Amino acid sequence: MANELALRRARRTGPLISLVPMIDVMLILLVFFMVTSTYLNLDMIPAVKQQDRAGRQQNPNGETVLIRLAADGAPVLNGKPLAPEAFATLLRERVKANPLTQVLLLPSGAATTQSLISVMDIATRAGVERLQVIRLEARP
């Protein structure tokens, strides 16, 4: 009886499948697609009309106020820095005179994002509905 037990061999369950070659192929494909792909240029997405972005479209029914945002975060109108209260009063008066007044904000490259948000907040509390932030970029 001891010999019968020694003659039986364990059956194989099936071929062994290795995942290593599949992982290698996937890595090669990933590198290939990353190298050959082009990155999306977000300016290609038409979020606003091109004439609005370029500033060529005039505001036919209202006036346009250009506010520069200085490096220290103070709004500047016609070369004169304004205090936040004076800025809010000025915008309230302009909007009261013409509800279609458009405000263009031109932030300095050294201005912080918080100062830009603060100026935008003052403008919206003053009743400005047409507010646009302009970003100057160098052309290639």
Q: What is the pLDDT of residues 110-131, one digit of tens each?
A: 888 888 889 899 988 988 888 8
Written in H, E and C, the secondary structure of the chain is CHHHHHHCCCCCCCCCCCCHHHHHHHHHHHHHHHHHCCCCCHHHCCCCCHHHHHCCCCCCCCCEEEEEECCCCCEEECCEECCHHHHHHHHHHHHHHCCCCEEEEEECCCCCHHHHHHHHHHHHHCCCCEEEECCCCCCC
More confident residue, 60 or 37: 37
Among 3.30.420.270, 3.20.20.210, 3.20.20.300, 3.40.190.10, name the CATH number for the domain at 62-133. 3.30.420.270
Longest CA–CA span in the chain (Å) reads 111
Provide the whole-model pTM.
Answer: 0.54
**Each residue of 94-111: pLDDT tens digit?**
889 888 888 888 888 888
84-97 vs 113-125: helix crossing angle, rounded to 10: 40
Segments making up each domain of the chain, as ranges? 62-133
